[in-house]
Structure 1
Amino acid sequence: MSIVKTFTTATIALATSFLIAGCGGGVEGTYKLDKSEMKKSMEAEIAKMPADQQGFAKLGMALIDAMDMSVELQSGGKMKMKSSMPNLMDKDKPAKTEEKDGTWKLDGESVVLEADGKPLKCAKDGGKLTCAGQKEGEPSLVFVKS
């Protein structure tokens, strides 16, 4: 094979790998909570509740706008989760931030996140992770790759 042909083949292979990586082919990256999808999920769960329990649940739904949550899936199966929630008792105090380390792995078309020994199975659809609530009645968590 001539040097020009070798160089051309290598260039095409490299360009193809960049295209595949750029199309979100890998699961690694940072995902942020999709607040509008989270609200839709909560509304569906609230509608199933008895009327006398819906008011408190709707209050919880109102807090979604004030919270932030992200999941960073790192190469090698490492994961970092970060959440921030405003202080409801004293608005002058800073938001409560919590960070956890964990692991992740692919399981067919799903991604399994694990922190504190508790696995959470998430369906992967393009740049979106939809993680089912761990208990019945819990809304799904929806994360979008940023």
Structure 2
Amino acid sequence: MYYISALILLLSVGASFGQTTHATPSHQQIYAATDIAFKHIDRNNDGIIQERELEQAFIHADANHDGRISEKEYEMGGSNHAFRQMVFLEMDNDGDGFVDESTLLGQYSIMNTNNDLIVSRAEFDKFYTALIENALQHHGYLLG
């Protein structure tokens, strides 16, 4: 259900943890990562994410303009937080090493729980926190 991404990313995770650890992250560390990702996507700083902002984040991250984001592109153009590598793996739901725009837009639909065509901070936080928690559950550790 949360196979999407925030780059979303959503693009958006490195500073909270060391290179590799098996420690369970705190809620504060997860929230810090969601905060970084939200600020990365909310380009006009109005406290909401519109679909076009997510599309712009995707275009920004897609450095070679092939319509999909590789892990390298995600890390270079996405938000910089401790979970970013795991989040990418979680968003790459078919395991081909890429996240495409349809995956990202599907995430937007899932985040927009009240169907008002905008994603509030609360909706984003709920979605992205679940995405990080799923990534931790599936991958079990932070990657370096």
TM-score (norm: length of structure 1):
0.25
Of Structure 1 and Structure 2, the greater helix share is in 2
Of Structure 1 and Structure 2, the greater strand share is in 1
Highest RCO, 1 vs 2 (Cα 8 Å, sep ≥ 6): 2
